[in-house]
Amino acid sequence: MSISENLKHIKSQLGEGVTLVAVSKYSTNEEIQEAYDAGHRDFGENKAQDLEVKKDKLPNDIRWHFIGHLQRNKAKYITDFIHLVHAVDSFKLLREINKQAKKSNRTIPCLLQMHIAAEDTKFGMDESEIENLIADPKLTELQNVKVVGLMGMATNTDDSAKVNSEFKQLKNLFEKLKAATLPGNVNMEKLSMGMSQDYEIALENGSTMVRVGTAVFKS
Ligand SMILES: *Cc1c(COP(=O)(O)O)cnc(C)c1O
């Protein structure tokens, strides 16, 4: 199937209000352009400096999502254009994004990454770290970032029951926070979970944003 057929197929599985982020980290600019020409606008990348260069060669109405682990010293490369930062895993990183966003006169939407996978190689915070970050009085001083939801990556396994329970855990925290009284710059709207291998399970568990690379760009 072509990229446009892949996009069509995946989009047909998404419910109302669910966004497909086409993860283009392994794709050429020609492939990204092909998806763009098919009407797609949301793309995900995980290398800040590469993205800064790449975005200038592609249409400027693309909404770029930063989906990977962002090192604090790299935030400055993306803060004047990034649409959403998916994987914030510390207050320090949020503070740095805020500092850079301020220079660009922007308010940047961010998701907090929860560690749900069994592998300890995956970044993210546990439930209490996320709750502590949100409860930190210093958070409201960060006027140039807005926490708009949560993100997580499930274990890379064929065991769909395991993946299912990991996504459930993330969804439960999302709902718990949604029901809580939150600071002014926190609003639980987006739940980013699901990749090529597991986006169907993520959708069953209430994902509002799937990050799919291989299944979009495969031929
Ligand atoms: C690479 C990546 C994806 C997409 O992976 P695929 O298996 O190609 O769909 C999604 N999320 C994150 C954080 C990634 O790094």
Whether the Cβ atoms of residue 93 and residue 66 lie closer than 8 Å to each other:
no
pTM metric for this prediction: 0.97
Domains held by the chain: number: 1
Q: Is the CB of 214 under 6 A from ligand 1?
A: yes
Calculate how far, in angstroms, residue 128's C-alpha sits from the geometric centre of ligand 1: 26
DSSP 29: H
Strand boundaries in the chain, DSSP class E: 19-23, 42-45, 63-66, 84-88, 108-115, 145-153, 186-193, 209-212
Residue 57 in tokens: 């060669």
Reading phi first (left if > 0) and then psi (alpha if -120 to 50, else beta), residue 69 is in beta
**Chain-wide mean pLDDT for the chain?**
97
Q: Residue 165 maps to which CATH number?
A: 3.20.20.10
**pLDDT for the residue numbered 84:** 98
Kindly report the backbone phi and psi dihedral angles of residue 198, in degrees, each rounded to the nearest multiple of 5, phi listed first: -135, 15
Residue 85 phi/psi, 5° resolution?
A: -100, 115
Q: Residue 193: CB within 6 Å of ligand 1?
A: no
Cα–Cα distance between 62 and 67 in angstroms, integer?
Answer: 15
Mutate to test the pocket of ligand 1, among 27, 121, 150, 195 (most ligand atoms within 8 A of CB): 195
Q: Nearest-CA neighbor of 32 among 58, 63, 7? A: 58
User: What is the signed CA dihedral for 157, 159, 164, 170, rounded to 10 degrees?
Assistant: -30
For the stretch 86-137, pLDDT in tens is: 999 999 999 999 999 999 999 999 999 999 998 877 789 999 999 999 999 9
Q: What is d(CA 166, CA 153) in angstroms, rounded to the nearest whole number?
A: 9
Which residue segment(s) compose the domain that 157 sits in?
3-217
Check pocket membership of 21 for ligand 1, CB cut-off 6 A.
no
Which pLDDT does position 132 carry in this prediction?
A: 98
pLDDT of residue 38: 98
The rounded Cα 181 to chain-centroid distance in angstroms is 23
The DSSP code sequence of 115-127 is E-SS-TTS--B-H
For the chain, give me the number of helices (H) and strands (E)? 8, 8
Atom in ligand 1 nearest the alpha carbon of residue 212: 9
